[in-house]
Amino acid sequence: MTYAISAQGLAKNFGPVKAVKRVDLAVRPGEIYGFLGRNGAGKTTTIRMLLGLIRPNAGTVRLLGSSLREDRAGVLAKVGCLVESAAAYPNLTVRENLEIQRRLTRSPAAAVAEVMGLLKLEDFADRRAGRLSLGNKQRLSLARALLHRPKLLILDEPANGLDPAGIVEVRGLLRRLADEEGVTVFMSSHLLDEVEQLADRVGIVHEGVLVEEVDRAELRRGSRVAIEVAAEDAAAAGDALAAAGIQTLGLAPVAEDLESHFLRKTGGQS
């Protein structure tokens, strides 16, 4: 299978800061992949590497089967992205910003009106981008990502700034694009609820490492099982239960919802 995103051994340091230590990704065509992690986990850095905006210290990336290094223009023509750095021109209107994007991507004349319809931006078409509310700025960013009808969308925190109704709307839009047009969506979020509702698969990133992937079937089940061990010395128990000859006082499976699971995997309280 040609993966929509294939990344191996990605790592990135900023001086002494190891922002990404080890991330491997194999995102299947047509799936919605939620890249979930707490603030500072390394999501944005990973996305910037995927898009070739920064050079990894280690690792390789292929998007839609091709390497960005070998065919940057060809690959990016099929990819839509939303990243912080790619802000709209504040003094140009919504329509003008989209018109620029349309020319850059050589999209048909109708694409601007179409995408404004998709993101419900028609009422703001003649407003300067710099004067938009946070939520409508985000809609404009999404519109720019979608305008050329890419096969792959890479979105950093797409729900940022949207109100609850906007979040539901964008969620519906991404689901439709995946289901009806086979678009692959890779989206990052620090909100468990958001990815849980939308993603076919969730990758949990913690301190620069992809620590786990959970698929839709598991997400739908809503709970997974952990083994709770009651031992005299709980700290030592984790290391080498049997080998250390620790006397266990109890061993019981405990149902765990995704939220507790996520918190446990990322070192939070549950």
In the block, residue with structure tokens 């995927």: 50
Q: Say if residues 69 and 158 touch (Cβ distance below 8 Å).
A: no
Bridge partners of 128?
Answer: 93
Q: Which of 101, 90, 181, 100 lies closest to 136, judged by CA? A: 90
**CB 73 → ligand ATP: shortest distance, Å?**
26
Distance in angstroms (rounded) separating the CA atoms of residues 17 and 24: 19
Distance in angstroms (rounded) separating the CA atoms of residues 254 and 40: 30
Closer to ligand ATP at the Cβ: 40 or 253?
Answer: 40
- Per CB under 6 A, contacts with ligand ATP among 176-195 are 190
From the list 35-43, 86-94, 103-111, 226-234, the region that binds ligand ATP by CB under 6 A is 35-43
> Could you tell me if residue 245 is left (phi over 0), alpha (psi between -120 and 50 degrees) or otherwise beta?
left
- Per CB under 6 A, contacts with ligand ATP among 38-67 are 39-45
Is residue 158 within the footprint of ligand ATP (CB under 6 A)? no
Distance in angstroms (rounded) separating the CA atoms of residues 174 and 43: 20
Closer to ligand ATP at the Cβ: 68 or 204?
Answer: 204
Distance in angstroms (rounded) separating the CA atoms of residues 168 and 10: 32
Among 2, 14, 225, 232, binds ligand ATP (CB under 6 A): 14
Among 2, 17, 236, 253, binds ligand ATP (CB under 6 A): 17
Sort strands 66-67 and 58-63 into parallel, antiparallel or unpaired.
antiparallel
Q: Say if residues 115 and 143 touch (Cβ distance below 8 Å).
A: yes
**CB 128 → ligand ATP: shortest distance, Å?**
27
From the list 33-41, 106-114, 126-134, 258-266, the region that binds ligand ATP by CB under 6 A is 33-41
Distance in angstroms (rounded) separating the CA atoms of residues 44 and 211: 16
Is residue 11 within the footprint of ligand ATP (CB under 6 A)? no
Among 4, 5, 10, 19, binds ligand ATP (CB under 6 A): 19
Q: Is residue 125 packed enough to be buried (19+ CB in 10 Å), middle (13-18) or exposed (0-12)? A: middle
Helix axes 134-146, 164-181, angle to 10 degrees: 10
- Per CB under 6 A, contacts with ligand ATP among 236-255 are none
Closer to ligand ATP at the Cβ: 87 or 113?
Answer: 87
**CB 39 → ligand ATP: shortest distance, Å?**
3
Closer to ligand ATP at the Cβ: 40 or 108?
Answer: 40
**CB 57 → ligand ATP: shortest distance, Å?**
13
Maximum Cα interatomic distance, the chain, rounded to a whole number of Å: 73
Is residue 37 within the footprint of ligand ATP (CB under 6 A)? yes
Q: How many residues sit close enough to ligand ATP to count as binding (CB under 6 A)?
A: 12
Binding site for ligand ATP (CB under 6 A): 14, 17, 19, 37, 39-45, 190
